[in-house]
């Protein structure tokens, strides 16, 4: 879409040819062994699913629903773990954190960043639905306590089906496979810097078909102006 806007009729290319160009230039991720990021074998309370209802919740305003998830990223010292918090209506990544382990500090840091972003836009966190999987990082007392202190409503998947947190899974895939290539030879700090740039590109440059080819930042501004 961005190439079409820039080059007009000079840029006429199909999906398969486009991916062929990507592969020939080393821009397609190779399959690697994937670590497990969700451990739901714990004794913490699992909250009700407020998203996958009948009918399914369809957020229409910025700050109505956010989704959170953890994914893995390769570094020279092994796997690192990326926590993302995404506003569901605008697709905007409002918070993120990279940690060397699957500790609860990563999701907590990402959520604090997200809460600060919402309040910075004049959007209160009270009543905002936070949806995640049933992983121990999201069910632990420290994390749920943070959500309650922010006035958020807690929602969790009831099964291991990734489709029950599909938006978070898609954002994970887009950020990793869209801008992070061959990171296994880079230091943790270098990967963190690359991620900061990737999140910026995702939020402000990449148009989304589901948003009418607007960027998440443009969609957030549109939704906020509608609500004003």
The beta-carbon contacts of 19-27 under 8 Å, at least 24 apart in sequence, are 26/181, 26/182, 27/181
Q: Using the 8-state DSSP alphabet, how is residue 184 labeled?
A: G
How distant is the alpha carbon of residue 85 from its chain centre? 5
Give the pLDDT confidence of 4-50 residue by residue, as tens digits: 788 887 777 777 787 788 788 877 665 555 666 566 667 899 999 99
pLDDT along the chain (228 residues), means of 10: 80 78 75 60 89 93 97 93 97 97 95 98 97 95 98 92 89 86 91 96 93 97 94
| Average pLDDT across the chain, whole number | 90
Q: 26: which residues sit within 8 A by CB, 6+ positions away? A: 181, 182
Instruction: Identify the CATH class of 31-227.
Output: alpha beta
Each domain of the chain, given as residue ranges in start order, spans 1-30, 31-227
Q: Answer for the pair 157, 40: CB distance below 8 angstroms, yes or no.
A: no
Which pLDDT does position 33 carry in this prediction? 58
- Using DSSP, state whether 76 is helix, strand or coil: coil
Which pLDDT does position 42 carry in this prediction? 73
Which pLDDT does position 130 carry in this prediction? 98
Q: Cα(136)–Cα(138) distance, rounded to whole angstroms? A: 5
For 103-116, give one letter per residue: b (16+ CB within 10 A) or e: ebebbbbbbebbbe
CA 17 vs CA 7, 12, 47, 176, 190: distances in Å: 17, 10, 45, 22, 32
């Amino acid at each position: 879409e961005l190439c079409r806007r820039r080059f007009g009729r000079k840029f006429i290319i199909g999906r398969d040819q486009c991916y062929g160009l990507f592969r020939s230039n080393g821009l397609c991720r190779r399959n690697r062994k994937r670590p497990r990021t969700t451990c739901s074998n714990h004794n913490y309370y699992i909250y009700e699913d407020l998203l996958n209802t009948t009918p399914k919740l369809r957020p229409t305003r910025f700050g109505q629903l956010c989704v959170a998830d953890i994914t893995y990223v390769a570094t020279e010292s092994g796997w690192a773990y990326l926590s993302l918090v995404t506003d569901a209506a605008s697709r905007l990544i409002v918070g993120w954190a990279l940690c060397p382990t699957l500790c609860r500090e990563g999701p907590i840091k990402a959520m604090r960043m997200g809460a600060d972003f919402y309040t910075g836009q004049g959007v209160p966190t009270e009543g905002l639905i936070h949806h995640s999987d049933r992983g121990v990082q999201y069910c632990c007392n420290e994390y749920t306590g943070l959500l309650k202190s922010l006035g958020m409503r807690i929602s969790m998947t009831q099964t291991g089906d990734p489709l029950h947190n599909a938006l978070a899974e898609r954002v994970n895939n887009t950020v990793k496979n869209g801008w992070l290539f061959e990171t296994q030879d880079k230091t943790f700090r270098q990967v963190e810097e690359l991620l900061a740039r990737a999140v910026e590109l995702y939020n402000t440059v990449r148009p989304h078909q589901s948003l009418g080819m607007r960027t998440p930042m443009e969609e957030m501004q549109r939704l906020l102006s509608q609500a004003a």
